[in-house]
Amino acid sequence: MKPKIGIDEIQPYQGGKPIEEVQRELGIENIIKLASNENPLGPSPLAIAAMKKAMSDVNLYPDGNTYYLKQDLARHLCVLPENLILGNGSNEVLQIVGETFISANDEVIFSESAFVVYQLVSKICSARSVIIPMLGFDQDLESMADAVTDQTKVIFVANPNNPTGTMVTQNQVEQLVEQVPNHVLIVFDEAYCEYIDRSDYPQTINYISEKGNIIITRTFAKIYGLAGLRIGYGISTPKTIDFMNRVRQPFNCNTLAQVAARAALKDHQHVKESRELNEKGKTQLYRFFDEIGLDYVRSEGNFILVHFDTSGQEIADLLLRKGVIVRPVAGYGFPNSIRVTIGTTEENQRFISTLEGILQIT
């Protein structure tokens, strides 16, 4: 049995190693995971309480329309419920974009060193990936716009980008939106947007009512601490959302995810503390990297791309044997780098101490 054309070229997505897997394979305890950009504070206490209350209803199918979560999100974002689609993580929303709008031989534009799912979606849809070189560690939106042809269907822009942590500004986005024709969808992947507090961060939601070709994806996996529940969402025009809902699988967001997301949205203190912890940890790690002379990319997310004079995979493997899980990023074009998630103060110090010991022997 042969798969669809292009499927055999796809490499399965490899996430950060789970703690349980490292325990099983290496037989070590006291492991910390700084590999998958999860919230070190964990989920909101309100989300935990909401899930406990809903546990007795998991024998029933979830609300397939995510009605109440859409109502809460709409108020939170100042949009209409009809502007929203919920997904089993924002990854599913990205895949729904492909299944709904991308046909064989269409062109899909995205940056090199961008989130791997963009290329995955393109290949699943038998589209042609048009990969735009980075400007240093930044996405080149001007070249993305210049690359548009009559065959272009979608442009993916991660903001901030993973794994570099860099962001594109309001002015850059405005120029892109003005230049790109209406037959091309622009998808802004804003998984880490809640960590950003800059006046020049693009207010992309404002474009939804002005343009018919904008989709925004966001997630509850990062600052809201619900990565294990898999829930994210998309924002666009009611017409675009209607098309996407025709492709969306029924009951794609489970009951616990829905109630936890609703509660997490209301826990402003948890979001505030998560953001503050991230900024504190960022300063802690920057100071260490500066002191020992390691190059790194200043990040707008909850992770940092760090460069070495040797293989990033080797550094990651040595850290792993000491019980510290980080992410090698050779697959993103950075063979001598790792991506480290910003953890708690104690987790960051464990990473620092372990890395210091490793660098003395490599």
Residues paired with residue 186 on neighbouring β-strands, in sequence order: 155, 214
Indicate the range of 20-34, 141-155, 239-253, 316-330 predicted with least confidence. Answer: 20-34
Share of the chain above pLDDT 70, in %: 99
Name the helix (H) or strand (E) containing 98.
helix 90-101
The number of C-alpha atoms within 13 Å of 339 and in the hemisphere containing its C-beta is: 25
- In single-letter form, the type of residue at position 67 comes to Y
Confidence of residue 210 (pLDDT cuts 50, 70, 90): confident
Please tell me the predicted confidence (pLDDT) of residue 21: 85
Indicate the range of 13-22, 71-80, 313-322 predicted with least confidence. Answer: 13-22
Token pair, residue 323, equals 């019980």
Q: What is the pLDDT of residues 220-243, one digit of tens each?
A: 999 999 999 999 999 999 999 999
Please tell me the predicted confidence (pLDDT) of residue 361: 61
Please tell me the predicted confidence (pLDDT) of residue 188: 99
Is 5 a residue whose pLDDT tops 90?
no
Is 23 a residue whose pLDDT tops 90?
no
| Domain range summary for the chain, segments of one domain joined by + | 7-42+269-359, 45-267
What region does 346 belong to: left with phi over 0, alpha with psi -120 to 50, or beta? alpha
Residues 38, 40, 42: CA angle, nearest 5 degrees: 90
Token pair, residue 76, equals 């939170």
C-alpha 38: how far from chain center: 10
pTM higher than the cut 0.85: yes
3-state secondary structure string across 25-65 = HHCCCCCEECCCCCCCCCCCHHHHHHHHHHHHHCCCCCCCC
Q: What is the pLDDT of residues 267-296, one digit of tens each?
A: 999 999 999 999 999 999 999 999 999 999
> Buried b vs exposed e over 31-65: b needs ≥16 C-beta within 10 Å?
bbbbbbbbbbbebbebbeebbeebeeeeeeebbee
Please tell me the predicted confidence (pLDDT) of residue 262: 99
Asked if 7-42+269-359 and 45-267 have one fold, the answer is no
CATH architecture observed for domain 45-267: 3-Layer(aba) Sandwich (3.40)
Q: Domain spanning 7-42+269-359: which superfamily? A: Aspartate Aminotransferase, domain 1 (3.90.1150.10)
Is 70 a residue whose pLDDT tops 70?
yes
Confidence of residue 328 (pLDDT cuts 50, 70, 90): very high
